Amino acid sequence: MPFPSFPPIEGELFRIERIREILVRRESELRYMMDDIQLCKEISRLKTELQRLLALPENQKSNEEKQREEELVQQIHKLVETRDFLVDDVEFERLREREEDKEMAEFLQSKLSKSYLQRASGC
């Protein structure tokens, strides 16, 4: 026995709201992805520069080059920490979205069950 559907306008409004939520979530995911790509590009660029400096014999490096090595290591470390935070944030968002989806499913199940019981009892 299938569940009855929502009245047409209510069902359409629900579908529109659900599409909006999906689009907002997708936009958020894309922003995270863009941020991650930018961080990875910057980390890669800094690593390449650091590798170039590390390839030089230690006794031939200027003080500026030695200082630049330190700066690069610190910058890379900071970017890796930022990326770690971003990954943690993405995981938190996914968990929050799952919880929202679960709550919505429970709400809809409850609403559909009440609607079905009302129709079955003739009210």
Q: How confident is the model at residue 68 (pLDDT cuts 50, 70, 90)?
A: very high
Q: Which residue's entry shows tokens 């014999």?
A: 57
Q: Which residue's entry shows tokens 């943690």?
A: 88
Q: pLDDT above 70 covers what percent of the chain?
A: 85
> Could you report the per-residue pLDDT of 73-108, keeping only the tens digit for each?
999 999 999 999 999 999 999 999 999 889 888 887
Spatial CA neighbour of 35 closest among 71, 89, 72, 95: 89
Handedness of CA 14, 16, 22, 25 (dihedral sign): negative
* Residue 35 to residue 21: CA distance in whole angstroms: 21
* Residue 56 to residue 71: CA distance in whole angstroms: 17
* Residue 37 to residue 60: CA distance in whole angstroms: 35
> Could you report the per-residue pLDDT of 48-64, keeping only the tens digit for each?
999 999 999 999 999 99
